Amino acid sequence: MTDWLRSRPALAALLWLLLALPCLALVPAQAQDFREPQGQSFTVWPNIPVVRAADMADYEADRKIFADLHATKADPEKISAALKGVDALQAHHERRAMAQFGRSINTQLIAELDRLAREARLTAPKLRFDFADITPEDLQNPTPPQELKERASRITLAAYITYTRLEGSLVQASTTLVKLKSGASQSFTVTAPAPRLADALARELFDYFEGTRFAAPRAPLPGVQWLTAAPGHAGQLVSREAAQAWCQAQGAQLPSADELRAAEAAGFHGGGVALRPAGVYHVQNGLYDTTTAAAGMGALRPNHLADVPNASYYCLRHPATPPPAAQQIARKRK
């Protein structure tokens, strides 16, 4: 394990940094915006380990080779010799090229963030890399001296990058930022040609930290409850009569066209619903057609056949709508 870390000084430095700071909480961080507190800049440890993950392109190539062997489409001795040659070539390039890939990504990422900040005319970027009193030898030292430990107290974030090569020159990479005091983390994933990988990662980070922070939207229909169709109606078109009967049994009703439109705008993750791109839904005044809505011809159209299975539906329960049992009790009292 020690030899493995010595061969990866950047990763060893990051592991040391994480372990050297006793304030790092080993508990899940509270759910909040990773950029909090608003307006604060973050000092990032400038040594960013770049770790290679599985190579999916090589994996697919290996699967084909072994499939050919199994189907006796290729001579085993020739394939075995070819695999040894590929292994030797891979090891050669790992030593001469990939060993420097991480250092290139690290340097290019920081340079591109600086360029984006200059282009946006930012005098105080949210992400800054602290090189003060740190030499390149310090950064590559797996066991940093005591002076470097003291400097590390200024660091707010540490980062690491994992990547995998896809087909051709495409590379998929994920940058993970870790807050040293809370343990909170945030990851960013991009897919780009290898020469543009650092630029793509920098743009993701820059837009996230420097972009406008929009206020959270309010629920368009506060207090209401959305209900899905009956279990027996899931994935099926039903008649208006069947949809109404189920909604009434749940103490609910079909939504109006405006209510369904507002819920669709809010989205499934914003308190609303997700409608199919080419779907038709029962509403109080007819049918809500997402196809005609997308074409700019209006979503609402009449439903002349109330007993024909011709649409999907959601039910909407308003706070003032009593459940069926309460309705029956009220009628008996009258």
Is the bond leading into 255 cis (omega within 30 degrees of zero)? no
Whether 207 and 198 have beta carbons less than 8 Å apart is answered as no
Give long-range contacts, CB 8 A cutoff, 24+ apart: 95-99.
98/52
Report residue 14 CA to chain centroid gap: 24
Q: Residue 301 is inside which H or E element, if any?
A: strand 300-301
- Indicate whether this model's pTM tops 0.85: no
In order along its 334 residues, the chain shows pLDDT tens digits of 445 445 555 555 555 555 554 444 444 444 578 988 888 899 888 878 888 876 666 667 666 665 665 555 556 666 565 556 556 655 555 555 555 777 788 889 999 999 999 999 999 999 988 666 555 555 555 555 565 566 666 778 888 898 988 888 899 999 999 887 788 899 999 999 999 999 999 999 999 999 998 888 888 888 899 999 999 999 999 999 999 999 999 999 999 999 999 999 999 988 899 999 999 999 999 999 999 888 888 899 999 999 999 999 999 999 865 556 555 555 555 5
- The model's pLDDT over 207-227, given as tens digits with 9 standing for 90+, comes to 999 999 888 888 888 889 999
Q: Where are the domains of the chain?
A: 2-210, 225-333
Report the run of H or E that residue 281 belongs to, with start and end: strand 280-283
pLDDT at 115: 96
The owner of tokens 């996230």 is 208
Tell me the C-alpha to C-alpha distance, in Å, between residue 313 and each of 57, 238, 282. Answer: 44, 8, 5
- CA angle centred on 110, ends 107 and 115, rounded to 5°: 120
Beta strands in the chain (DSSP E): 42-44, 50-52, 127-129, 157-165, 170-179, 185-193, 225-227, 280-283, 286-289, 300-301, 315-317
Is residue 173 within 8 Å of residue 190, measured between CB atoms?
Answer: yes
Closest CA to 186 of 38, 47, 53, 34: 34
According to the model, what pLDDT value does residue 232 have?
A: 96
* CATH code for residues 225-333: 3.10.100.10
Please state whether beta strands 157-165 and 300-301 pair in parallel, antiparallel, or not at all (unpaired): unpaired
